[in-house]
Amino acid sequence: MAEIAPILTMKGITKRYGGVVALRDADLEIMPGRIHAVLGENGAGKSTLIKIMSGAVAPDEGQMTLAGSNVSFTSPAAANAAGIVCVFQELSLIPDLSVADNIVISGPPTRGGMIDRKAQRKIAEQALADAGATDVHPSALVKDLPLSRRQMVEIAKALARKPRVLILDEATSALTAADVQQVFSVIKRLRQEGTAIIYISHRMHEIAELADDCTVFRNGRKIATYKAGSKTDNEVVELMIGREYKNVFPPKGTGPHEGQAAIACKGLSWAGRLNDISLAIHPGEVIGLGGLDGQGQRELLLALFGVLRGVSGEITINGRPSAASDPSEARLPGFGMALIPEDRKTEGLMLPMSIADNLCFAALDRISSRGIIDRKVAEARIGEMIELLQIKVASADLPVSSLSGGNQQKVVIAKWLMNSPRIVLLNDPTRGIDVGTKQEIYLLLRKLAASGVAILFYSTDYDELIGCCDRVLVMYGGAIVRELAGDAITEHALVSSALNIGEAAHT
Residues lying near another protein in the complex (CB under 8 A) are found at 56, 75-81, 88, 91-98, 101-102, 105-106, 108, 110, 113-115, 117, 137, 139-141, 144, 157, 270-271, 299, 302, 307-310, 326, 347
Characterize 378-414 residue by residue with b for buried, 16 or more Cβ atoms within 10 angstroms of its Cβ, and e for exposed: beebbeebbeebebebeebeeebebbbbbbbbbbbbb
Closer residue to another protein in complex, CB, 88/462: 88
Closer residue to another protein in complex, CB, 54/496: 54
Q: Are strands 274-281 and 286-290 parallel, antiparallel or unpaired?
A: unpaired
Q: Which of 159, 207, 160 is nearest to 180 (CA)?
A: 207
CB atoms within 10 A of CB 320: 9
Residue 308 beta carbon to another protein: minimum distance, rounded to whole angstroms: 6
Closer residue to another protein in complex, CB, 58/94: 94
Closer residue to another protein in complex, CB, 73/416: 73
Q: Are strands 372-373 and 196-200 parallel, antiparallel or unpaired?
A: unpaired
Q: Which of 354, 347, 355, 359 is nearest to 416 (CA)?
A: 359
**384 to each of 381, 391, 413, 417, 418, how far by Cα in Å?**
5, 11, 13, 10, 9
Residue 138 beta carbon to another protein: minimum distance, rounded to whole angstroms: 9
Q: In what order do the strands lie in the sheet with 423-427?
A: 337-340, 423-427, 454-458, 286-290, 471-476, 479-485
Residue 268 beta carbon to another protein: minimum distance, rounded to whole angstroms: 14
Residue 103 beta carbon to another protein: minimum distance, rounded to whole angstroms: 10
13 close to 52: Cβ distance less than 8 angstroms? yes
Gap between the Cα atoms of 100 and 93, Å rounded: 11
Closer residue to another protein in complex, CB, 147/241: 147
Closer residue to another protein in complex, CB, 350/485: 350
Residue 272 beta carbon to another protein: minimum distance, rounded to whole angstroms: 10
Residue 447 beta carbon to another protein: minimum distance, rounded to whole angstroms: 30
Closer residue to another protein in complex, CB, 75/181: 75
Gap between the Cα atoms of 137 and 325, Å rounded: 36
Q: Which residue stretches of 60-192 are H helix?
A: 76-82, 99-103, 117-131, 147-159, 177-192
C-alpha torsion 131→133→139→144, nearest 10: -120
Residue 342 beta carbon to another protein: minimum distance, rounded to whole angstroms: 11
Residue 424 beta carbon to another protein: minimum distance, rounded to whole angstroms: 19
Closer residue to another protein in complex, CB, 150/446: 150
Residue 167 beta carbon to another protein: minimum distance, rounded to whole angstroms: 12
Closer residue to another protein in complex, CB, 107/229: 107
Closer residue to another protein in complex, CB, 168/435: 168
Residue 139 beta carbon to another protein: minimum distance, rounded to whole angstroms: 4
Q: Are strands 165-169 and 221-227 parallel, antiparallel or unpaired?
A: unpaired
Gap between the Cα atoms of 473 and 489, Å rounded: 10
- Phi/psi of residue 28, nearest 5 degrees: -155, 140
473 close to 279: Cβ distance less than 8 angstroms? yes
Residue 451 beta carbon to another protein: minimum distance, rounded to whole angstroms: 30
E strand spans, 176-259: 196-200, 213-218, 221-227
Closer residue to another protein in complex, CB, 101/428: 101
Q: Say how many CA atoms lie within 13 Å of 5 toward its Cβ.
A: 8
